[in-house]
Structure 1
């Protein structure tokens, strides 16, 4: 299913409400046939085929709303959400009274972080009579993006009143309560109540373990997942999560046992093979891990996490094929941001951008499922309409172009994607407080990643501890033997660090009364 698409009501939209947007009680048989075929292709992972099927028909001015929605869904499944928006807007124009057209428009707007428009479209959907948790979820996320947290939380709660065990809504509510309070008990209260009412629902327990993990309670997360496994030993998602939780508490043997069972349950699933590779690295079986990672890379050559698992195994076994990815002098570069047009100095611009970012950092702690620990994060800056933010990305674009040019040509997994035409694929700001850091990680869907140092009021010049410095090469997964960082960058205000997304990177913790304020983004070739 495509994220954001309203699959449970799709056929209802095509049949029951067809008269609302076609002016006839009888659907056009050919159009509906193509539309239904497109949805079937999308649901079976064949979005490219669905796109080819619908491209011709949607070019016609009389294309139905249902067909336009299916075409938009195919584009979104292929990562072309910006293009999908045009067709969602056309669907609404074609059928202004169709609630499903409005819902899908709201979902796409939300995916693009166009939160003000997403709120309006979601409210229109509700006004047209489609008041279900999926719509409330889109509305709540839009309100959260608009920093209207009380309203967002109330909207999630209302969605749960209609469907008390909705896992996606619970995840979003728990995350918002966690980020607002910094307290796991506050985040988990609604979720624990739902688990008490639905004790057999292991998905809710998996969400609970996720909250505990990012709150730092690894033992609690582990116990929660072991309990879930007693209720659903064949649940693949729980088994994979349990493997990683066992690793987080240092039980490598149990991690490997869970990973092997996940691979037995779904031997062809990439996620099963990924967690098995992690467990093999933790168990000191790097040679086997390397072969497993080779298969992962063959199946998904641009998956940056598959690449780094293979590179990590190569580093342990001493395979010279991994040397390319440890050539930090060639792969990791820093650049000084140019002064944006219209500004007298870079410092003046950075001061203004800093003040704007600090206004946006109004949550207490970090989100779930991110590398950040001990700070706050502002997402979706690459889609911001703020002139200050847009000026930053215009300057960053020039720096990225220089980096790509300096990389040079090649057939390795980094350079073979080299292109002069590229796009930002995510942008965010992080405000780390004292003792905060980024756990070592990669960006699985990126190509080039970054760190821009916007404000550093504390001291980051200790050459011994390298407190607050960006580090490379220390794995974000357990390995035997343990591997340490191999390269560091000292933070300097106005400096942009650029590097391949497949390199392990994190930051050294720092202790200071002041903060560390950065902006980061990923880049992908078009």
Structure 2
């Protein structure tokens, strides 16, 4: 490294990035080291696009340079440009023979849900001492994405090197795994140990959440408040406190926001959260006041403008809301949420071609967003477009199946008696959740199927058999949002139990981040019958949440039976008729995602 490059490196190490860039700009001999250092300086002053271009220029001349490959793939991961990292590594195969780019590639595969490929590469990787921590961390991340929490538990016990077992972040990961398994006491013990070693807002938050899991609400509240004392704008803590107050102390609702804004400068991210909570509580006047002030203080903040448009629409000022949404879509065409809400306006006005145009543009940027496809299904149906039938084809895509008896049981009904008792015991909340589709009912917390429980494991086996059968029966179509992602392998990404009481129902909804929805029916009241003209507690498909009046259409109605699972694409609108029974309607819904 010559003298001028050495001076630039010295300036970089002293965090004098602009001075380093000046020194590099006069350098004529652009070696691989020059491109690496110049790119690092550009990244340090947040000129990310320029840094990426500089790396690529250097790699065109020095395609196998270790420094360039290490740092370029690292930048892509830091920027969460995982698809770009995968594409680059698979084009520049030399990168996969190098340890750090290979780990960046594996991280990208995990985050893009290419889990089988990530598993192959991680098994073929032998880490050096310098990458040992990251290798084992990525291995744990991979099995977490697989939902294989018991493997993670075993990994900590038998495969994680001894020198890593006591490290802070690995202990934290182990605690989170215990919590996901439903082993809350074990999780809390580790978290409290870490909290004594290294107090932080995040630790107080997760300790508070674990106390909530244990139904120890006073301790949960205390730790969530302690989190906010250290980090007043920690949005998850505010929202978790509000959830706690909704269930146990409604007089305290929104109080954490009030206290924070009283003592600290306003933060636009926290204001956006505050507005969202007010909307969930249906406090439109207060939400309008907050959003009006916020959009004046932060006129370029698109998320606040979007929240303001929602409130204006609900208050009846459709014209202003529509104008705001047009601006948002123009400024952020990649944002699915803005496009969906604008399309909603066009659908309400009967301008289906305009809705379709915006949605089809947005789906190019967000091909797996189920809500975009759900709104396209509405616009296509209302405009008599054949694509509606191509997309929704209920005969092919909606299947009612009998759950098979788990091992050791003669029938599923024999097993189900024990499962019913377990599910009932898990419904500890009395109020409907603040942010879900359930009305007059309760919903369990966390990922139900990840809990460490023999009955849940047996249920998973039965459910998986049905889903595997469903996947093998699907046709092929590389352009279809359901079929193109079917690789005959799946993982359950979300699961919970819902207990509907007298008068309860599911509001019409879809699952934006899902792929398949798969509710299983664990307990069905005797009053629910295929002969019931009122369709008490039935599942209905096709009717939207848009309140379109005579333009609404119920495509199919199903009276579920105990021991059945109903599988359908997550973009198909679904809800239920009101339950009229003193006995609960008990289900285990599940979000299924494809593996590739």
Q: Secondary structure at the match of 1:518?
A: strand
Which residue number in structure 1 is paired with residue 81 of structure 2?
46
User: Take 2:68 and 2:245, find their aligned partners in 1: how far apart are those partners?
Assistant: 45
Which residue number in structure 2 is paired with residue 175 of structure 1?
243
Find the partner of 2:344 among 258, 278, 285.
278
User: Take 2:370 and 2:155, find their aligned partners in 1: how far apart are those partners?
Assistant: 31
> Across the two proteins, how many residue pairs are aligned to each other?
493
User: Take 2:359 and 2:204, find their aligned partners in 1: how far apart are those partners?
Assistant: 40
**1:78-477 residue pairs with structure 2 within 5 A?**
93-95=162-164, 98-103=167-172, 106=175, 115-116=184-185, 118-128=187-197, 130-180=198-248, 183=250, 185-198=251-264, 200-218=266-284, 220-249=286-315, 251-378=317-444, 379-411=446-478, 412-457=480-525, 459-461=527-529, 463-477=532-546
Which residue number in structure 2 is paired with residue 20 of structure 1?
none
**1:52/1:291 CA distance change after superposition, 3 Å:** farther
Q: Secondary structure at the match of 1:175?
A: helix
User: Take 1:142 and 1:98, find their aligned partners in 2: how far apart are those partners?
Assistant: 21
How far does residue 227 in structure 1 lie from its aligned partner after superposition?
4.1
Which of 1 and 2 has greater Rg?
A: 2
TM-score by length of 2: 0.73
Would the aligned equivalents of 2:498 and 2:587 in 1 still touch at CA under 8 Å? yes
How far does residue 176 in structure 1 lie from its aligned partner after superposition?
2.4
How far does residue 242 in structure 1 lie from its aligned partner after superposition?
2.7
Which residue number in structure 1 is paired with residue 565 of structure 2?
496
Q: Could you list the per-position Cα deviations for residues 283-326 of structure 1 after superposition, in whole angstroms to 9, with x for gaps in the alignment?
A: 43221110111122222222211211222111121111111234
Find the partner of 2:575 among 506, 512, 522.
506
Work out whether 1:62 is the aligned partner of 2:112: no
How far does residue 518 in structure 1 lie from its aligned partner after superposition?
0.9
User: Take 2:71 and 2:169, find their aligned partners in 1: how far apart are those partners?
Assistant: 15
How far does residue 260 in structure 1 lie from its aligned partner after superposition?
1.8
How far does residue 425 in structure 1 lie from its aligned partner after superposition?
1.8
User: Take 2:160 and 2:237, find their aligned partners in 1: how far apart are those partners?
Assistant: 27
Would the aligned equivalents of 1:71 and 1:87 in 2 still touch at CA under 8 Å? no
Greater mean alpha carbon deviation, residues 341-350 or residues 288-297: 341-350
Greater mean alpha carbon deviation, residues 374-383 or residues 223-232: 223-232
How far does residue 247 in structure 1 lie from its aligned partner after superposition?
3.8
Work out whether 1:521 is the aligned partner of 2:571: no
Name structure 2 gaps, 5 residues minimum: 1-65, 86-99, 107-120
How far does residue 386 in structure 1 lie from its aligned partner after superposition?
0.9
Q: Secondary structure at the match of 2:396?
A: helix
**1:73/1:390 CA distance change after superposition, 3 Å:** closer
**1:486/1:145 CA distance change after superposition, 3 Å:** same
User: Take 1:483 and 1:79, find their aligned partners in 2: how far apart are those partners?
Assistant: 38
Would the aligned equivalents of 1:255 and 1:279 in 2 still touch at CA under 8 Å? no
**1:222/1:422 CA distance change after superposition, 3 Å:** same
TM-score by length of 1: 0.82
